[in-house]
A and B are shown apart, each in its own frame.
Chain A
């Protein structure tokens, strides 16, 4: 069964460092998303991406966050200057053009120290 893959599975970084989280969405999907889940809290929407541009972003997705689809298969989330409160599980997700279901990856666990 096709799946969304994410790397790294776990990353520890110093506060203030830049982090790039990588995702390979399901191959025929056209809508891409990043969500995050702080430990013990709800899964929260960060950003949606379609046709090479951001279609919507949440209040959490401020100027220190950016997304990119650098080639035909990868979708990345960059955090420019990490803060302690950025520690969370980050999930990439994708959806087909005509589909209603959003498929999530296994997540990248980010720990900022």
Chain B
């Protein structure tokens, strides 16, 4: 079983749609959960991070973590064509001092296209 699994898509939605992106994982040691956005041939750009289970909202983006199911989600409301990118989930354990451990394990990435 892969440590982190993410449906690669591609996912195509009309502008204004609600987008749901998901990852599952197998490693119980993961405590920090991140979502990155990556444009073609560019570096991953951090969108959100969440510690342990729960929800976190930032503008049009909501991240959810369910550690009991080992399942994380990213919701994008009112999606825009500028949201078109690859979305990567990433996870890490807990390092010294309670901060995230720097070794991130990434999902495959989901390619999202929002068409006008």
Known: A100-B99, A107-B42. 19 other contacts (CB 8 A): A4-B43, A31-B102, A35-B104, A42-B106, A42-B108, A43-B104, A43-B106, A45-B105, A56-B103, A89-B41, A91-B44, A95-B100, A100-B49, A100-B51, A102-B46, A103-B46, A104-B36, A104-B44, A105-B43
Please tell me the size bucket of the interface on A: 20 to 34
Q: Encode contact with B along A58-76: 1 for CB under 8 Å, 0 otherwise.
A: 1000000000000000000
Secondary structure of the A contact surface, majority rule: strand
Q: How far is the CB of B53 from chain A (nearest CB, A)?
A: 16
A residues with CB within 8 A of B = 4, 31, 33, 35, 41-45, 48, 55-56, 58, 89, 91, 95, 98-107, 109
Residue from the set B46, B103, B109 with the largest chain A CB neighbour count within 10 Å: B103
Given the known inter-chain contacts A98-B97, A101-B49, please indicate yes or no for A43 contacting B103, CB distance below 8 A: no
Contact of A48 among B103, B107, B108 (CB under 8 A): B103
Report how far A109 CA is from B40 CA in the complex, Å.
12
Q: How far is the CA of A56 from the CA of B96 in the complex (A)?
A: 13
**Chain A residues within an 8 Å CB radius of B36:** 104
Closest to A31 in B: B102
Binary contact track B42-62/A, C-beta < 8 Å → 1, others 0: 111110010100000000000
Q: Are A44 and B41 in contact (CB under 8 A)?
A: no
Residue of B nearest to A106 (CB): B43
Contact partners of A109 in chain B: CB under 8 A: 41
Q: In angstroms, how far is the closest chain B Cβ from the Cβ of A49?
A: 9
Q: Is B43 within 8 A of A42, CB to CB?
A: no
